[in-house]
Amino acid sequence: MKNILITEGRVIDCVQNLNSVMDVFISNGKITKLEPKITNFPPDTIIISAKKMIVSPGFIDMHCHLREPGYTKKETIYTATKAAAKGGFTTVCAMPNTDPAMDNNTTIEFVMEKAKTNGLIRVLPIAAATKKRAGYELTNMNELSNLGVVGFSDDGDPISNPNIMRQALSYSLSTNLPIINHCEVKELSENGVINEGRVSMLLGLAGIPNSSEDAMVARDIFLSETTGGNLHIAHASTSGAMELIAIAKDKGLNVTCEATPHHLTLTDESIFNRAKKIDHENILSKNPYDTNVKVAPPLRSQKDVDALVQGILNDTIDVIATDHAPHTNTDKNCTFEDAASGISNLETALSSVLSLHHSKNVPIPKIIEKLTSSPAKLINRPDLGSLKLNTTADITIFDPNFEWVVNSNSFASKGKNTPLEGEKVKGKVIKTIFGGEIIE
């Protein structure tokens, strides 16, 4: 294992309150020096100049779909971790909606072993909250937590039964791991494919109202208050959810949430093919909409996006998580109603969230906090998310001003389903170091 010296980078570490130009020295996979200027190092050291770049702890994705086992046409652990490394992530938390579902020791152990042999970075499984993710019977949470899972979720489907959710939250007190819920009242969102509003009416597509999310967020918050359980709201998307979560935090409840890069930066108007605003003259053109923007929950209104950005600034939102959901071309090259939900975004996540800095003055340290130290805390991994001396060298180096054009053909991910195709974006990962090794 080679020694590595990173020079003249702006080191940002929210755990240590660092935000200054420093050198970082890595030896035997560990961070051994962190100083303004390092001059004493072995002659065979690999030197990486990070001048005018940012050096941060490796990003942690708390919500990612690796698709293996079961859906390897969409993605594999190898391709997903390669894509993650390109995007600056050194840890990804794998969601359990695989086939078979990650609801038992055998499947969890398969994913962990596959990650060790085929993965390029750290993979931490999130176990299903209920057996087969069917919502009727809890998994053995204590047993699965002993395997090393970092949370429980039926993501892709909500835990609709309130009594099952109450029991899951009660168990979270003994596992000290979050119950991560996809908040959606199916009876309110039934048959919907896009945010309910002006755009859905213009296109004649069935809408999904904000209330489908807000109602379940409110329910889960009350259940968390009743049980004291550890509740984490996945991919929050509405202004109403922001209000409810802020109130819960003010009351001191054990409630956290995440937002995705796409919900923070895109609105439902992004459905119009390549036009980030409504083009009334061409609305009935041959390809009036882009199925790559179909996600669950749907992209919302500008009001909701503004509320989410404010949620980053005031810490209502704890984590930025990708919800990386790769699909085949066949899954997306169809009608909007038939298209699969999800965006492949591990490789564009940083550029998307940096647009909040470039256009809305969200501080870069705040963005880094939501990608590093905050998710590490929520998954109960204090060994991650920092550049402290003698910790494992998981490091991301990025240029916040580097401009590039998104070309999905260059993605490491099998999923090419991005609404950013052909867009010029700003901010790019230059180097990803995992365990002291240069991965990308």
Confidence of residue 275 (pLDDT cuts 50, 70, 90): very low
In a domain, 274, yes or no: yes
Give the tokens for residue 384: 């991650």
Average pLDDT over every residue of 79-102: 98
21 within some domain: no
Q: What is the pLDDT of residue 49?
A: 98
Q: Per-residue confidence at 184, pLDDT binned at 50, 70, 90? A: very high
Total domains in the fold of the chain: 1
315 noted as active-site residue: no
Average pLDDT over residues 144-153: 97
Model confidence at 1, pLDDT cuts 50, 70, 90, reads confident
Query: What pLDDT band is residue 289 in, cutting at 50, 70 and 90?
Result: confident
**For residue 279, what pLDDT is reported?**
52
pLDDT of 213 over the 70 cut: yes
Q: For residues 174-199, give the mean pLDDT.
A: 97
Which of the following is catalytic: 13, 268, 290, 323? 323
Closest CA to 348 of 423, 272, 247: 423
Q: Tell me the residue range of the domain where 114 lies.
A: 58-385+414-423
| Residue 85: CATH number of its domain | 3.20.20.140
pLDDT at 256 over 80: yes
* Lookup: tokens for 67: 């698709």
Confidence at residue 67, expressed as pLDDT on a 0 to 100 scale:
98
Asked if residue 20 is part of any domain, the answer here is: no
Give the confidence band of 272 by pLDDT, cuts at 50, 70, 90.
confident
The H-assigned helical ranges of 148-269 are 162-175, 186-189, 198-203, 211-227, 239-250, 261-265
pTM, 2 dp: 0.96
Rounded average pLDDT over 93-110: 98
Tell me the Ramachandran region of residue 8: left when phi exceeds 0, alpha when psi lies from -120 to 50, beta otherwise.
left
- Kindly tell me if the per-residue pLDDT of 166 is higher than 80: yes
pLDDT at 287: 56
What pLDDT is attached to residue 276?
A: 44
For residue 388, how many other CB atoms are within 10 A of its CB? Answer: 16
Residue with tokens 């490789």: 347
pLDDT in tens, 10-46: 999 999 999 999 999 999 999 999 999 999 999 999 9
34 part of a folded domain:
no
Output the average pLDDT for the chain.
Answer: 96
Average pLDDT over residues 364-377: 98
* Contact (Cβ atoms closer than 8 angstroms) between residue 243 and residue 303: no
Which residues are CB-neighbours of 418 under 8 A, at least 6 positions away?
A: 292, 343, 344, 345, 348, 406, 408, 411
Asked if residue 115 belongs to a domain, the reply is: yes
Mean pLDDT along residues 119-143: 98
Q: What is the CA radius of gyration of the chain?
A: 21
123-149 mean pLDDT: 97
pLDDT band, very low/low/confident/very high, at 281 (cuts 50, 70, 90): low
- pLDDT, mean of residues 245-258: 98
344 lies in some domain: yes
Q: Is residue 148 part of a domain?
A: yes
- Average pLDDT on 84-108 reads 98
Helices 162-175 and 211-227 sit at what angle, rounded to 10 degrees? Answer: 50
Cβ-Cβ contacts under 8 Å for 203 (sequence gap 6 or more): 194, 271, 283, 288, 289, 336
pLDDT at 283 over 80: no
Per-residue pLDDT at 266 exceeds 80:
yes
Look at residue 437 and tell me if it is in a domain. no
